[in-house]
A and B are shown apart, each in its own frame.
Chain A
Amino acid sequence: MSVSPGILFSGFWIIENPEGALYNIRNELSDLPLQTAPGGIKGYGVESDLMNRYWIRRVLSALLVLFLILVLNFLLFRMMPGDPVSSIIDPDFSPEAKAQLRQLYGLDLPLSGQFMVYVKQMLTFNFGISFLTQRPVWEELSSRIPNTVVLLGSVLILSSIIGTLLGIKAALKRGTWIEKIVLWAGAISFSFPSFFVQLLLLFFLGYLFPLFPLRGTVSIPPPAGGIASLADYLWHMFLPVSSLVVLGFGGWALYVRNLMVKEMGEDHILLARAKGLPGRKIIWGHAFRTILPPIITIFLLALPGIVSGAVITETVFSLHGVGRFLLESVTGHDYPAASAAFYLLALLTILSNLLADLAYGLVDPRVRFEKKGRR
């Protein structure tokens, strides 16, 4: 199975052509088992040999992708014009001093030598020292990841839940004002620039009616005690999280609404209705269950995004996160930091992709049916 590349919106990955891509996923999985298995048995693919081969192929292709990313990660940064030293423009920093710095960074080594150092660093997870901060890259990332994961993790969970519920509601209330509101709210939420919404929130709720702090994740001076610190942290995270939820739920709502509208017109839903099943059972037991796999897939594919950071949000609310660090690493030619960050992101993306495959298998009713059939 492969998932087609997506577009990024509000920090989440969404499949570019949802329906087409999802059908591809479904067809690909459906096709696999229906082929004749080594034992001569036809059926949905839970034949162990076939499945093993499938997973081996998936893991091997993941490793190949990882290798390609490793190479590209090295080459792309070095193909960018200039290097970390060439961006220093300071008359008090002579060409001789720049040469010293190049030597210090190992930039005087031939490209092959630099590549060997780089591969060793990536494979051993010892990412070296950041050119910009002079601190170990791992230390830099690990100090930023908690804030970013809390921010974007909670945003992902909240906006997916809110968006999904609203999307379902809108699909069930077609033609009513509820659907119109959801569609409008979804479109507005989806299209508003984040900095605009965040600055408005900051002005009204941080300054004019100072209910929330203007910056950071901790009061100054910091409160004493664990509970007080936790409350303080949550208080500080309220505006950044809520602003991104406001901006992020719309995409989910529109997407889920479209899926649900289509699903509610399917034959099996008509059959369920004809059988006189209660509405709740039809919605949650049949329709939602059917659209759950693509939602889970998208949710899992959005997971890597929660460590990639949100540059604008981090800037507006002065959060110590990964996004800004990543941006500065790229623009400042900080090869060790940028390479490490993208390498970790690639690893996480590949892992999420594998997880999405696994989760799809777990929630797809046909696969479960086949499992039961085997017992």
Chain B
Amino acid sequence: MSAILEATDRLLAGPSPAAGSESLAAHNVRLGPMPRVGADLIGTLERSGLLGRGGAGFPVGSKWRSVAERRSGPAVVVANGAEGEPHSSKDRKLMAARPHLVVDGALLAADAVGADELIVYVGADHRAAVAAMGRAIAERASTARVPIRLVEAPVAYISGESSAVVNFINTDDARPTAGPHPRDRGVSGRATLVQNVESLAHAALIARHGEDWYRSAGRGPTSGTALVTISGAIAIPGVYEIDYGTTLGEIVAGAGGATSDIQAVLLGGYFGGWAAVDDLRDLSLDPAMLADRGLSFGCGVIGLLPVERCGVWATSKILDYMAGESARQCGPCIFGLGAIAETTRRVAAGSAAPGDMDNLARWSRQIVGRGACHHPDGAAGLLQGALSVFASEFDLHQQDRRCSRPAATAQGVR
């Protein structure tokens, strides 16, 4: 990736990802053989403060501990590389470049929680990742203590949601369920740990180097490094590894600079939200510091919205996408999110009806927590942030029924 960005290379240390996936031999030479740590790794992870990288940021050690303690009989580990968030590509790039690091982490997890089966769950369309993980699994099959298999999942926004992952593995239906939590009853009815592939890769390094080593990176309250995907009005879009606490300005510079003046940033993906940007240096990409400002690090998506585009249209397109991606199982998501998307589209197009803005505010409050999964919550959060960040633009669209940007550029290509 970029040499300009001052970062502690950890996951992406080693040969350039452009050279393809690191072989098992090279992996073992560079990092040494995978250590045998067992359940002790759980305590190490808890002390390291490693947070999950799937978007929710849940502490990884606690998650492993709850599966290890609650299970009766052997558990199952699923390495979740579904990556349904459209602007995120870090998981598939990681799997394509460092498949053995991911497999290490997954095997260590299986050992730690007492699993006798390991499943690697990858989006079927992500061919490079599928190929790399497939080869890696074949290379490890003879020495791994548990059987490993690859499951190719349909690529959809919610296909990475834990209950959807388990449901697809069990029944070929990639929709979330309302039943017991995977950690209690998951794959084949057994306690299941569903863990993001980047989290597993970090765990694999922590198993080798320890919690103090992990905590030595990071500039602010949150320790460690993370993969981010930067897209939008940026010169060199792609996946970068950063220390937590790096400012947005540094990341943008490290990615070749913005191609235009930036009015807002989409942080954390569609499940995150918009952040108004007056000064790029102001925004410190540390999950705790972002949370204090009501923002979310999420899955590390950084989408730069240039001033030429209209924030209302950008929000409308995202909401249309999220409404389309609904699993169509729960009324509040089907009708509530559907109405939100349709109304926002009307407002964007300059055909706002009286009461539309009040409806948007009411509906986005109403749908939160009323679906079987958190899909409607994400959309509601995105809209609420947009109403704040693009307040004046929404006013213009709703009251004057016009857009401040020329039509073609307002909507943009993405």
Tell whether A pairs with B.
no
A contact residues vs B (CB 8 Å cutoff): none
B contact residues vs A (CB 8 Å cutoff): none
